[in-house]
Structures are given as structure tokens and as C-alpha cells.
Amino acid sequence: MKSAPDVINQLIGNISRVMPEGLTAELEKNLRAAMNSAFERMDLVTREELDVQAAVLARTREKLERLEQQVEALSGKPGQ
């Protein structure tokens, strides 16, 4: 996945190609500011952060399953 600056640069490049040259600099400045603001409000995470959290969740689920089995064995009652 592309980073926010990469996406912004790609979009600005695409828009700049279809705009008249006199409007490009001012439009680029305003568009970049608006897009940066929008990305900041989205509270996005990187792929790496997402992968780390997915691994933590997987380990937590495994631990929970082990603990449920231990409780079941100690109580002598089968789980649901």
C-alpha cells in the first residue's frame, strides 16, 4: 500500500495534467493542504502497525483458548 504522501503526490500529478498551467501551482498548494488534513483526520495506520496488531491478536486468541481448556479441565465440565 502506498503511503499518504505517495497517494497525495500521485493525485496531484494526475489533476495537474488536466488543469490549465496558470492554475496548477495554487491548486496544488491548496489540494495538498486539504488532502493532508483529510488523511490526518482519518487516523490511518501503516501496514506494519496493522500486521503487528494482527499478530498480537492471534497470540491472545491462542492464549485464551488454552486458558479455556484449562478451566474446562479443572471444572470437569465440557465447554460449549
The number of CA neighbours under 13 Å toward the Cβ of 23 is 9
pTM listed for this prediction: 0.50
Is residue 52 over pLDDT 60? yes
**Given pLDDT bands bounded at 50, 70 and 90, which one contains residue 17?**
confident
Is residue 67 over pLDDT 70? yes
What is the mean predicted confidence (pLDDT) over 6-16? 78
Residue ranges of domains in the chain: 1-44, 47-80
pLDDT of res. 79: 58
Contact 78, 72 (CB under 8 A): yes
